Amino acid sequence: MGKTILVAGAGHGGLAVAADLARKGYDVTLLEKKAEEALGYDWTDIFAPQSLIAAGVPYPSRSLYSYKENMTFFPPAQSVTLTQNVPQDEREIKMERRDIYAHLVAHAKRCGVKFRFETPVTAPLLLGSRVCGVLAGEEKLYADLVIDACGMDSPLRSALPQVCGVEPEIGANNTAFVYRAFFARTGDFTPAHSYEVYVLHQGRQEIAWVATEDDYADVLIVRFAPFGEDEVQQALADLRRTNPHIGEEIVRGGQFAKIPVRQPLSQMVADGYAALGDSAFMTVPLIGSGIANALKASHILSRTVTDDKDCAFTAETLWKYQVGYFKLLGAGYAAMTCLKNALLSMEPAEVDFLFERGILTEDQITITANTTNLQSMMKMSVKDLVDRAKKVCTDKILLTKILRIASQIASATALCAMMPHTWATQNVRKWVANYNAFFAKQQKG
């Protein structure tokens, strides 16, 4: 076969797709800007272990992970709680990010992937409108296919010429800014719930979680605009009022990061190019989880590549990957983006009402990155939401907002169903323009 594939970025998606393609006989080189020892962050991640199997990656050793507890959600007034009820066999696992990467790197090496660490790619190389390689510093590296797994700020995606049709930027209000640290526990206070999530925390545009472990409290603070140390201290002071066990000493983490929280990228492929994982905005828009999706998508991409017997790797042959991703997950996440945007535009008292009057239920907050049949779950969930809202909602403004969410979700679902199943340039361009316009309008409210 001898076809060369460059994968840029050794995140979950990049490592998994590189391994799968190398195993199938392609000549795969993975370019990663960091050193091998510096991959990842100093914290644990939660993800659906079945996604490893879906990506053709073996399970890690049992000693490396534990099972995640159900999350308990608090509305702004903290007047009631809602706890997830994830079935035993669908529970996600919790694993050190560095261990996940070490596991994926070892697997990729066994599959024959060639690694070049400390090699940041800076731009795509183009032959007309076809991506034919990447620029890494002064070096020009050519390939039959470039897989962009560089994450949300990918320098490859953002430098593609307009003619390729791929959206370069993430867009306003689509980034979650995150601070995460593990604090030593103090005193003998034990919270009633081991994994607390505060929605619109203290009435701010903020989500915070406290996951209590034996030795530390894992605190995550999420906002939708950049923030700094002052806001962290403010959130911590508020959290400590109900969680006095959160000590002052940071034992791990203490870093700021970013996560894309938006609808999937409208066009993930171009001639010689495919975007994967965060660079194609594949995270769950409500919670920012992206590991399972990047892993599952890696397999769809690798299958699409191997199905292209002539190794043309054009937008036309790679389009099947996008269609497969939207069918499995993307359409559901596009619909979920409407819900996320609506929740963020609600007043704290309205969110309190949704919790207190049972309009939001356990089932709805149990939708995770592991949920199968995402599209039908979203549909059912919204129908239930509307039915319950109609019964108890005396506030006309809130009811109108809920009905509008339902109608936007229905429109997003219909729009995704209209995505062309096979590539025809004009049809794809038209669909992409409609999809982008729909979400741009939504952002404006």
Ligand X SMILES: Cc1cc2nc3c(=O)[nH]c(=O)nc-3n(C[C@H](O)[C@H](O)[C@H](O)COP(=O)(O)OP(=O)(O)OC[C@H]3O[C@@H](n4cnc5c(N)ncnc54)[C@H](O)[C@@H]3O)c2cc1C
- The residues binding ligand X (CB under 6 A) are 8-14, 31-34, 39, 45-47, 120-121, 149-151, 155, 178, 180, 257, 259, 277-279, 283, 288-292, 294, 369
Closest C-alpha to 8, from 143, 128, 99: 143
Choice between 136 and 385, CB closer to ligand X:
136
Instruction: Count the alpha carbons within 13 Å of 288 in the hemisphere toward its beta carbon.
Output: 18
Choice between 95 and 405, CB closer to ligand X:
95
CA–chain centroid gap for 417, Å, is: 21
Please state the closest distance from residue 350 (CB atom) to ligand X, in A. 28
Closest C-alpha to 48, from 418, 227, 296, 235: 296
Choice between 276 and 354, CB closer to ligand X:
276
Burial label, 238 (beta-carbon count in 10 A; 0-12, 13-18, 19+): middle
Please state the closest distance from residue 12 (CB atom) to ligand X, in A. 4
Burial label, 94 (beta-carbon count in 10 A; 0-12, 13-18, 19+): middle
Please state the closest distance from residue 321 (CB atom) to ligand X, in A. 15
Please state the closest distance from residue 369 (CB atom) to ligand X, in A. 6
Please state the closest distance from residue 403 (CB atom) to ligand X, in A. 32
Do 187 and 244 touch, CB atoms closer than 8 A? yes
Choice between 151 and 285, CB closer to ligand X:
151
Do 6 and 145 touch, CB atoms closer than 8 A? yes
Q: In the numeric block, which tokens belong to residue 298?
A: 């890696």
DSSP string, 1-58: ---EEEEE--SHHHHHHHHHHHHTT-EEEEE-SS-GGG-S-SSEEEE-THHHHHTT-P
Choice between 289 and 337, CB closer to ligand X:
289
Please state the closest distance from residue 301 (CB atom) to ligand X, in A. 11
Choice between 279 and 408, CB closer to ligand X:
279
